[in-house]
Structure 1
Amino acid sequence: MLDDLDRRLLRQLQADPTLTAADLAERSGVSALRATRRLARLEEQGILKGRRARIDWTALGYAVAVSLRFTLEKAQANAFDAFIAAAREIPEVVEIQTFLGRVDVRLYVIARDMAHYQQLYRDRILALPHIAELEALMTVATLKNDESLPL
């Protein structure tokens, strides 16, 4: 389990993933060596999975976001795997989630504009294998997008 120092380090890292080990140590009230060892242990335990850049895709000209919910035909044994493999090949698919229940898979798709989305939809999305049902939900606004945990 996490102790107080682990939580302090993780809170600081969530707030600013660009902090060096020395900065994390200073903000957490420990030595740089101790902070470095703790971070290494958290990585070994699979709790800390590295640092990454969060890129605002709207700043790069992607103005359309659509959540697509799929129910798959399950007559073939490999239907699910074939669908996921094909969906991974579409660069504009930025997230893939699987579910238990009526909906099997959700794809989160971004596009530059509606014309780009329509082209993706006709040429790539509808060509995905084993689709039984498809529901599209256009994103109007994202009210919360925070991956931080309450540590």
Structure 2
Amino acid sequence: MQVDDTDRRILRQVLAEPSAARADLADRAGVTAATFGRRMERLREAGVVRAVQAVVDWRALGFAVEVSLRFTLDKTNPRAFDEFIAAAREVPEVVAIETFLGRVDVRLNVIARDMAHYQEVYRARILSLPHIAEVDALMLIATIKDSEGLPL
């Protein structure tokens, strides 16, 4: 799909304020509401826009601790990745799972209410995940930039 300047203007407005009214977004992008609707539908059908979603601030809900855990798996079992990921999906405090090519195989982002809760989750749920060869923890101190935006 070819994305033109009008599509880019629309995408910039949706990224800037996804919860704004459709008419307001259209006006800011310099198009009519009907054009905005048609263009957004086309962008969705082409897979350019997958969803307009809410972003939850975990800290506002009382989760003050976020830890990124990096795992190297014991790959002697050919199902190690699949079994590890399936088990990690069952841990409610795991909010992101990413796989990598390199020394680190998988990264889990884990949230907890406080350090005592994190320690409980780590000992009871994380260390019991299958096929762990090595684990390294990085505690989040501050998020400097967290943007879904693109240079459109």
Say yes or no: TM over 0.5: yes
1:104 aligns to 2:94 (yes or no): no
Distance apart, 1:28 and its partner CA: 1.2
Partner of 1:79: 80
Distance apart, 1:143 and its partner CA: 1.1
Partner of 2:29: 28
In the alignment of these two chains, the number of paired residues is 151
Letter in 1 for 2:145: K
Letter in 2 for 1:76: N
Partner of 2:52: 51
1:131 aligns to 2:127 (yes or no): no
Letter in 1 for 2:13: Q
Question: Moved runs in structure 1, 4+ residues, more than 4 A?
Answer: none
| Cα-to-partner distance string for 1:1-59 (whole Å, 9 max, x where unaligned) | 21011000000000100123222211111111111000000000101011111111111
Partner of 2:20: 19
Distance in 1 of aligned mates of 2:146 and 2:26: 28
Letter in 2 for 1:86: A
TM-score with structure 1 setting the length: 0.97
Distance apart, 1:103 and its partner CA: 0.4
Q: Please tell me the root mean square deviation across aligned C-alpha atoms, in Å.
A: 0.8
Gaps of 5+ in 2: none
Letter in 2 for 1:68: L
Which sits farther off after the overlay, 50-59 or 123-132?
50-59
